Amino acid sequence: MHEIERLLKGFERFQQHYFEDEPELFDTLRDGQRPPTLLIGCSDSRVDPALLLGCDPGELFTVRNIGNLVRRAPAATKAACMAYPPPSSSRWSSCTWPASS
């Protein structure tokens, strides 16, 4: 099987599983995204955070970059991060910084 055919078959399986077997999930996601967890991770193609953590579409807001780097945040970045606070039910937040900064 050619690579593109394999990818298309994967997309068909995705559609079958989520759109046909669980239509209420995408009915909810159609109105917008409100993931309870922000994850900053590496852009390494060998690791898929949602797959690794067993999350469905809409459960993770993922920012991926080389080496999952998070620069020490100036005040403006902190304010932007605070504008997207995770709900109290979040498992963790990458929006943390030392109190002395």
Secondary structure in 3-state letters for 27-84: HHHCCCCCCCEEEEEECCCCCCHHHHHCCCCCCEEEEEEHHHCCCCCCHHHHHHHHHC
Is pTM beyond 0.85 here?
Answer: no
Domain shared by 82 and 53, yes or no: yes
Domain shared by 83 and 40, yes or no: yes
Task: Report the Cα 65 to chain-centroid distance in Å.
Answer: 13
Pull the structure tokens for residue 99.
Answer: 């109190």
Query: Into how many domains does the chain fold?
Result: 2
Domain shared by 59 and 42, yes or no: yes
pLDDT digits (tens, 9 = 90+) for 56-72: 889 999 888 877 666 66
Task: Report the Cα 32 to chain-centroid distance in Å.
Answer: 14
**Would you say residue 55 lies in a domain?**
yes
Q: Mean pLDDT throughout 32-58?
A: 87
**Would you say residue 99 lies in a domain?**
no
Nearest Cα neighbor of 76 from 61, 92, 97, 91 is 97
**Would you say residue 79 lies in a domain?**
yes
